[in-house]
Amino acid sequence: MANTYNPYENMLRVLESAARQLGLKPSDYEAIKYPERELKVAIPVRMDSGEIKVFEGYRVQHSSSRGPCKGGIRYHQQVDIDEVKALAAWMTFKCAVVNIPYGGAKGAVKVDPSHLSNAELERVTRRFTAAILPIIGPEKDIPAPDVNTNAEVMGWIMDTYSMIHGYAVPGVVTGKPLEIGGSLGRPEATGRGVSIITQEILKRLNMPEKGVRIAIQGMGNVGGVSAKLLHEMGHKIVAVSDARGGLYHPEGLDIPAALKYMAAHGGSLEGYAGGGAANISNAELLACDCDALIPCALENQITEANANAVQAKLIVEGANGPTTVEADGILTGKGVTIVPDILANAGGVVVSYFEWVQNIQELTWEEDQINETLRKVLINSFSQVLNIVNESKVSFRVAAYMLAISKLVKAKKSRGVFP
């Protein structure tokens, strides 16, 4: 994303810190610092007006040491290659933390989808799929939804790939519609994972299991599901927001009513005035009076410019890379506990893995089985990270990276360097 903070440089700085804690030599982790493959493509599309526009697209494969690459595709007008590289690397670490046999990848198209008709969006998607098709596949690299993409977009990708190959290949993507091989529980998986991890960290911090005042930035798929589930658990969701702004109520918002309003207004909170809530900006949400803050929007939301204003004592990163390295240092110095993205929002990739397994085996799992297995995976991973926190006296972020890097280094050593 075009701003002062380079997310890829942020990732490298955390990687170096964790590697030092592990006592690794630079040669042990040098390969992890670089993506295996970066593909940049031009996407010519005939618009509804008849004119031809060319969009820029990317697919970055960070690591395949532990298995096929895995990662979402986002559509955003400000995306750039460094953002995609960072997201791909975070996917590598995320998969290692939760111990699923994937490496990391990420894709993006530089476009504002709100300015496209549905037919134009489909043509962009299909042409982008054709452009990256040589490097994706169920045994190579499996895309999934991300910012501004959804099950419908995944269906178009799956169909394009299948038509070119001449037979149905459901395992080429995850997060697709149920009717063509999608998995029960997948749309809610990332938000469900955030709620599971939030409950676990509340227990460890001796905070109440109900009634905690929580602010959630971003009410898309991740933030909306997190708000719904945490509200059902008995917590007070005191603030929520979307890209246009947000709402705050010190006694807690009526989350079911807010979600109902959003469903009827194109996913937007704009104009909602339920329960006497005050209108606030995203900046005010990050600094509001709350016990826990869950950023579920884009990268670099909490920076050195606003970190001192954060009042929450706990941050659970629902988004990828929402906290810069400088802000992380400020917050840690203030005694704020931060559960990092590569652990906190890993629920999506875990259930994506379940979907892929179901596709490969031509089976269908029940939703209760999926949700319970997700809970076991996340709690086990959380416990491993917590053990490193306690033994090495490091932050949750460094501990999660230590767990991931140790697995990646062992995998790389086991495979060796070809030729």
Render pLDDT for 99-148 as a digit per residue (tens, 0 to 9): 999 999 999 999 999 999 999 999 999 999 999 999 999 999 999 999 99
Q: Is pLDDT at 1 greater than 50 in this prediction? A: no
| Domain final position from 344, 367, 385 | 344
* pLDDT recorded at residue 4: 62
- Within this chain, do residues 90 and 213 fall inside the same structural domain, yes or no? no
Residues 237, 227 contacting (CB under 8 angstroms): yes
- Shared domain for 325 and 201, answered yes or no, is yes
Among candidate residues 295, 396, 293, the one with its CA nearest the CA of residue 342: 396
**Same-domain pairing of 196 and 154:** no
State the DSSP string of 164-201. Answer: HHTS--GGG-SS--GGGT--TTTTTHHHHHHHHHHHHH
Strand partners, 302: 323
Tell me: pLDDT of 3 over 60: no
Tell me phi and psi for residue 259, to 5 degrees: -65, -35
Tens of pLDDT, residues 306-326: 999 999 999 999 999 999 999
Sheet holding 103-110, edge to edge: 37-46, 52-61, 103-110, 69-75, 141-145
Whether residues 157 and 107 share a domain: the answer is yes
In a domain, 253, yes or no: yes
Residue 18 belongs to a domain? no
Q: Is residue 88 part of a domain?
A: yes
Q: Cis bond leading into 143, ω under 30°?
A: no
Q: Tokens 């008995």 identify what position?
A: 234
**Residue-level pLDDT at 419:** 85
- What pLDDT score was predicted for residue 293? 98
Choose, from 106, 228, 236, 412, the residue flagged as catalytic. 106
Binning pLDDT at 50, 70 and 90, where does residue 2 land?
A: very low
Indicate which CATH number applies to the domain containing 93: 3.40.50.10860
Any idea which of 160-174, 263-277, 278-292, 335-349 has the lowest mean pLDDT? 263-277
Q: Which of 119, 134, 169 is the last residue of a domain?
A: 169
- Short-list 257, 265, 221, CA closest to 237: 257
> Looking at the 3D structure of the chain, how many domains does it have?
2
What is the spatial distance between Cα 322 and Cα 304, in angstroms, rounded to a whole number?
12
Is 179 among the domain residues? no
Range of the domain at 142: 35-169
Q: Are strands 69-75 and 37-46 parallel, antiparallel or unpaired?
A: unpaired
Residues 46 and 396: their CA atoms lie apart, in Å, by 48
User: Are residues 207 and 132 located together in one domain of the fold?
Assistant: no
pLDDT digits (tens, 9 = 90+) for 58-73: 999 999 999 999 999 9
In-domain check, residue 82: yes
Catalytic residue list contains 236:
no
Residues 193 and 306 in one domain: yes
Distance CA 264, CA 68 (A): 39
Could you tell me the pTM of the whole model?
Answer: 0.94
One domain, residues 209 and 282:
yes
174 lies in a domain?
no
pLDDT per position as a tens digit, 254-293 = 999 999 999 999 889 988 877 789 999 999 999 999 999 9
